[in-house]
């Protein structure tokens, strides 16, 4: 029966990847060799004006990064959103009698440097064209070692993090808890919304095992168990908020330890980049982030099983050293990924992204290729801070966002099927084999980068 299932799946993969897309290398792309920017000093306005269509012969086909003006066109006017777009479901509705949270105060000076306060594309002068197909509403490309921000789009735009917020949860756990402490699972853990790694009553897990389930498999049940060990959800959220503030992540207000949407949830690509950079200094976080497959303990009469890493670039992008995926209906796709090449470690954070014109993972891979191709001496557009900057005072919180951007269009099933065709055969085969090996609970969602098929509108994978 299992053999028939595997054989049928592999046949389906073969049909999808026959022809020129069957490269045998997951998400493989040739190095980006883009044309020089025709307007080297085209950054007097916030949005980057020097980007247009790729010339014939460029290795990446498709459209330029979404929203970039063509050469000679003026940069569009824009504002930095002080709050995420309006929710599409009821997940952020306050409890009866509670007012909706107002947006966080806006710092008087942009954290990370003056250019981090710009909207639109924030690029160094004279750099090559961005690769095509980058459609995320907000993103940051940064050097993990120096903290230099190499390029960005709307770096301080407030967005929802989805499961990428688990990096902040993990950072708090690593600083506050003994990794050898044993935590008992509960029915509440087992019944939590969204993705679950397999925590439940009768199970006994070390803090390190729960961290593994949190980062590798995006377990909301692991987040709930860790929050309980920290003193409960309210205490955990307070610790997360205090940690974010101490680090200088002033766009970040957690509403849940797992990243599930809730009233007032907010962060930015810039904040997630600096949080991830500091988390990657922790040895245990590095080890978990790059692990592809590991054992998960059983509980009661349920035997143990294998779990796999949700990061698609661990299989599909050479040099990947870690990352974190996320999705909710309100946040859309979010992704953090880091890679090492030629002695450099770069990270990409993408927020409010869609799997078109290419998969979000491929968009991140293109940005990594772009970053590795930049000269080492290129002047950064900002810096990832490590502590709260000294501020004369913060601007008062807005009563409501001045002009919140509209929600990103929801992908259709047809869009998802079409997007699968651009992945190399190795990516699909590797992902399917990992999925089949990594058994999950029967009610567990299977694809971390696709919406939860359960009826719960805000559940996250």
C-alpha to C-alpha distance for 249 and 241, rounded to whole angstroms: 9
Whether residue 166 lies in the annotated active site:
yes
How far CA 108 is from CA of 225, 266, 274, in Å, comes to 38, 18, 19
In contact, 200 and 188? CB cutoff 8 Å = no
Q: Which residues of 23-60 are buried (b: 16+ CB within 10 A; e: fewer)?
A: eeebbebeebebeebebeebbeebbbbbbbebeeebeb
Whether residue 258 lies in the annotated active site:
no
Neighbour-count burial of 340, counting CB atoms closer than 10 A to its CB (0-12 exposed, 13-18 middle, 19+ buried) = middle
Among 91, 138, 163, 266, the one annotated catalytic: 163
The closest alpha carbon to 348, from 332, 327, 369, 331, belongs to: 369
Instruction: Give the chain's count of helices (H) and strands (E).
Output: 12, 11
Among 91, 138, 166, 258, the one annotated catalytic: 166
C-alpha to C-alpha distance for 383 and 270, rounded to whole angstroms: 9
Among 91, 195, 218, 268, the one annotated catalytic: 218
Whether residue 39 lies in the annotated active site:
no
The closest alpha carbon to 335, from 327, 325, 343, 344, belongs to: 325
Neighbours of 407 (CB within 10 A): 15
Contacts of 131 (CB under 8 A, 6+ apart): 32, 34, 60, 65, 366, 367, 369, 370
Angle at 159 between CA 90 and CA 223, to 5 degrees: 70
State the catalytic residues: 163, 166, 218
């Amino acid at each position: 029966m299992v053999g028939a299932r595997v054989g049928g799946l592999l046949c389906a993969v073969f049909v999808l990847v026959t022809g020129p897309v069957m490269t045998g290398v997951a998400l493989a792309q040739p190095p980006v060799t883009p044309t020089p920017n025709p307007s080297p000093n085209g950054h007097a306005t916030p949005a980057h004006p020097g980007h247009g269509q790729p010339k014939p012969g460029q290795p990446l086909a498709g459209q330029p990064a979404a929203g970039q003006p063509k050469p000679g066109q003026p940069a569009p006017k824009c504002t930095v959103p002080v709050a995420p777009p309006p929710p599409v479901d009821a997940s952020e509705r306050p409890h009866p009698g509670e007012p909706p949270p107002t947006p966080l105060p806006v710092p008087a000076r942009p954290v990370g440097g003056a250019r981090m306060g710009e909207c639109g594309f924030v690029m160094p002068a004279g750099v090559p064209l961005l690769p095509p197909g980058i459609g995320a509403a907000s993103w940051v490309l940064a050097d993990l070692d120096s903290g230099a921000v190499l390029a960005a789009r709307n770096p301080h735009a407030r967005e929802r993090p989805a499961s990428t917020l688990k990096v902040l949860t993990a950072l708090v756990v690593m600083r506050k808890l003994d990794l050898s402490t044993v935590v008992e699972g509960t029915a509440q853990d087992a019944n939590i919304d969204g993705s679950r790694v397999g925590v439940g009553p009768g199970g006994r897990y070390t803090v390190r095992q729960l961290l593994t389930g949190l980062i590798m498999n995006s377990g909301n049940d692991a987040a709930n168990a860790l929050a309980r060990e920290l003193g409960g959800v309210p205490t955990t959220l307070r610790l997360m908020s205090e940690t974010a503030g101490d680090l200088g992540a002033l766009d970040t207000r957690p509403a849940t330890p797992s990243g599930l949407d809730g009233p007032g949830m907010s962060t930015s690509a810039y904040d997630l980049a600096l949080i991830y950079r500091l988390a990657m200094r922790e040895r245990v976080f590095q080890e978990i982030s790059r692990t592809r497959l590991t054992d998960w303990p059983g509980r009661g009469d349920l035997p143990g099983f294998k779990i796999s890493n949700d990061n698609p670039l661990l299989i599909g992008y050479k040099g990947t050293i870690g990352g974190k995926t996320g999705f909710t209906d309100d946040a859309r796709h979010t992704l953090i990924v880091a890679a090492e090449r030629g002695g450099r470690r770069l990270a990409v954070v993408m927020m409010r992204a869609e799997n078109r014109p290419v998969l979000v993972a491929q968009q991140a891979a293109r940005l990594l290729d772009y970053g590795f191709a930049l000269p080492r001496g290129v002047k950064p557009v900002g810096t990832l801070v490590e502590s709260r900057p000294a501020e004369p005072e913060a601007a008062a919180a807005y009563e409501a966002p001045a002009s919140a951007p509209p929600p990103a269009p929801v992908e259709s099933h047809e869009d998802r099927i079409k997007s699968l065709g651009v992945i190399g055969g190795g990516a699909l085969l590797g992902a399917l084999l990992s999925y089949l090996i990594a058994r999950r609970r029967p009610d567990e969602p299977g694809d971390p980068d696709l919406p939860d098929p359960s009826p719960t509108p805000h559940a996250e994978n």
